[in-house]
Structure 1
Amino acid sequence: MLVFLSSLAAIFIILPVLLYALVFFIVKQWTKSHLKAKSSAINVTTFILIFSVHYLILAIWSKSFLWMIILFILLTAIVFTYIYWKIKEEVNYGKVFQGFWRLNFLLFSAVYIGLLLYGAASRAIEAVMFD
């Protein structure tokens, strides 16, 4: 059972879009709400995207930059909270966290796609140049 769960986690870390689709489909069938399904899928997938970016960086450069990723997330939270406070003049922590988490979904999705393309291109060039 542990092997199955670790294999499933590895699949979702490699392809987080599958997790998004799976969570979306399950929640949509359960709640019949497109908005709740999308929200749940984004919330779950964001967490996995962070690890996906970390493991892509490990695969490309053989170095762990997890501390930089965590620092980036914390700085994003600080900047997002500051901007929210400047606009609304008070901080609603629930809305701030929800907006911050969705912003992280967008940022880490873009970084994931960029790293995926960069990694594939660099490996292809490396295979052609040194083959």
Structure 2
Amino acid sequence: MTNLVASVIATIVTIPLLGWYFIYIVNVKVTKNKSKAIRLASDWTTLLFMVAVYFIMAELWGQSFIWIILAVFFFISIIVTWMHWKVSGDIQTRKLFKGIWRFNFLFFLILYFLLSGYGLISIIIS
């Protein structure tokens, strides 16, 4: 039973789209609202995409890039905070944190696909 749980967790971490889809389906069934389910699934799987990007980078180049991932996260946070302040003139922390989290989701989702494609191409070529 422990192996099954470990296998499911490992699969969700390495293939975060399955985790996103699972959370989306559960939220659609519970809330009956697809757009809310998309937002909730995105919010809940941001960390999965960040972890997946870390492991893809570690596998491709054989070293840890956690400092780059953290630097990018904080850089995005600074930029989004600055933009939020410029647009609204006042910082509303709840909206700010949601914006930072969702922008990081989009960034790491795109990075996940780019790195996965690069990894596939590098395996095919070599």
Fold in common (TM above 0.5): yes
CA distance in 1, matches of 2:45, 2:89: 31
| Corresponding residue number in structure 1 for 2:117 | 117
| Corresponding residue number in structure 1 for 2:93 | 93
**Per-residue deviation, 1:31:** 1.4
| Corresponding residue number in structure 2 for 1:51 | 51
Q: Deviations over 1:73-115 (max 9, x none)?
A: 0111011101110111000011011111111111101100000
CA distance in 2, matches of 1:44, 1:78: 21
Matched to 1:21, the amino acid is Y
**Larger Cα-atom Rg:** 1
Is the aligned partner of 1:23 residue 2:23?
yes
Matched to 2:100, the amino acid is F
| Corresponding residue number in structure 1 for 2:81 | 81
Is the aligned partner of 1:38 residue 2:31?
no
- Which ranges in structure 1 are unaligned for 5 or more consecutive residues? 127-131
- Which ranges in structure 2 are unaligned for 5 or more consecutive residues? none
CA distance in 1, matches of 2:4, 2:70: 28
What's the TM-score, normalizing by structure 1? 0.91
Moved over 3 A (4+): none
Matched to 1:58, the amino acid is A
**Which 10-residue stretch deviates more, 6-15 or 76-85?**
6-15
| Corresponding residue number in structure 2 for 1:60 | 60
| Corresponding residue number in structure 2 for 1:129 | none
Q: How many residues align?
A: 126
Matched to 1:11, the amino acid is T
Identity of matched residues, %: 29
CA distance in 2, matches of 1:34, 1:118: 32
CA RMSD of aligned residues (A): 1.1
Matched to 2:21, the amino acid is A
Structural mapping, 1:2-21, within 5 Å: 2-21=2-21
CA distance in 2, matches of 1:71, 1:3: 34
What's the TM-score, normalizing by structure 2? 0.95
Local SS of the residue matching 2:95:
helix
